[in-house]
């Protein structure tokens, strides 16, 4: 789990591939008044019913095969009609042994993404939130995808150094810790670096002795001063 305003994970839990995504619910401490954004693989109406009871907000995507009953078609503001196709209050069935035992109330927002020419249907319990803002909240979930991409591009997770679960977990934790240190470093210097360039530089210079923060602020000046110092040291031997 990752906070919307932070670039690093808040909660990490490892499972094997056989575990269903929804098993993650029992490892999280959901708080009233917060909004949680999930991929549609985490859709669980029993959990969403509990969220409704405890004033816990959620935004997710509706599964393609989801059944629901339309209750109300909400008005769409004129300034949102290019992006919002539908805004609806619906009843969603909770089933036990194939039978509907009760329903929960949800809100469906159908959003048109002009960039990808695709429509997305979002499910939420946030009735007061403007429809366009529901879509914007869901976009925050892409921070997790960006984190995955960042890890895959800059750390050796395409292969593992050991073949047992403990070795794999250690390697993943090592990558996450290294990523955290690089994020802190990136946030601590004024000069802007691309994350990949920063990671590459650190990797290349792991065994070199230099003042890291000073170099990252002004690499040209620091290299020049370091070169002059090394030349001076060499001249002492020449004499």
pLDDT at 66: 92
Report the 10 Å Cβ neighbour count for 201: 15
Cα separation, 60 vs 39, whole angstroms: 6
In angstroms, the CA 11 to CA 111 distance is: 29
Check residue 201 and give its pLDDT: 83
Q: What is the reported pLDDT for 45?
A: 92
Domain ranges of the chain: 31-140, 167-238
The CA-based dihedral angle spanning residues 180, 34, 129, 100, taken in that order and rounded to the nearest 10 degrees? 110
How far apart CA 200 and CA 41 sit, in angstroms, is: 34
Rounded distance, CA 137 to CA 200, Å? 33
pLDDT on residue 160 = 79
With a cut of 70, list the residues of the chain below it in pLDDT: 16-23, 220-239
pLDDT at 10 (0 to 100): 83
Q: Considering the entire predicted model, what is its pTM?
A: 0.78
**HSE-CB of 100 using CA atoms within 13 angstroms:** 9
């Amino acid at each position: 789990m990752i906070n919307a305003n932070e670039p690093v994970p808040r909660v990490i839990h490892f499972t094997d591939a056989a575990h269903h995504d929804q098993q993650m619910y029992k490892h999280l401490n959901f708080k009233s008044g917060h909004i949680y954004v999930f991929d549609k693989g985490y859709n669980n109406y029993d959990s969403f019913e509990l969220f409704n009871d405890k004033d816990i907000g959620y935004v997710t995507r509706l599964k393609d095969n989801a059944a629901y009953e339309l209750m109300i078609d909400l008005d769409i503001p004129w300034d949102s009609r290019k992006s919002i196709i539908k805004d609806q209050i619906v009843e969603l069935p909770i089933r036990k042994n194939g039978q509907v035992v009760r329903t929960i109330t949800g809100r469906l927002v159908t959003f048109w993404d002009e960039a990808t020419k695709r429509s997305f249907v979002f499910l939420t319990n946030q009735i007061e939130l403007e429809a366009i803002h529901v879509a914007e909240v869901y976009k925050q979930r892409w921070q997790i995808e960006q984190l995955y991409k960042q890890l895959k591009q800059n750390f050796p997770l395409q292969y593992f150094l050991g073949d047992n679960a403990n070795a794999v977990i250690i390697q993943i934790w090592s990558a996450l810790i290294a990523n955290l240190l690089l994020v802190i470093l990136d946030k601590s210097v004024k000069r802007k670096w691309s994350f990949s360039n920063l990671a590459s530089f650190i990797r290349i210079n792991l065994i070199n002795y230099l003042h890291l923060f000073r170099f990252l602020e002004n690499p040209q000046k620091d290299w020049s001063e370091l070169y002059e110092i090394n030349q001076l040291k060499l001249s002492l031997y020449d004499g």
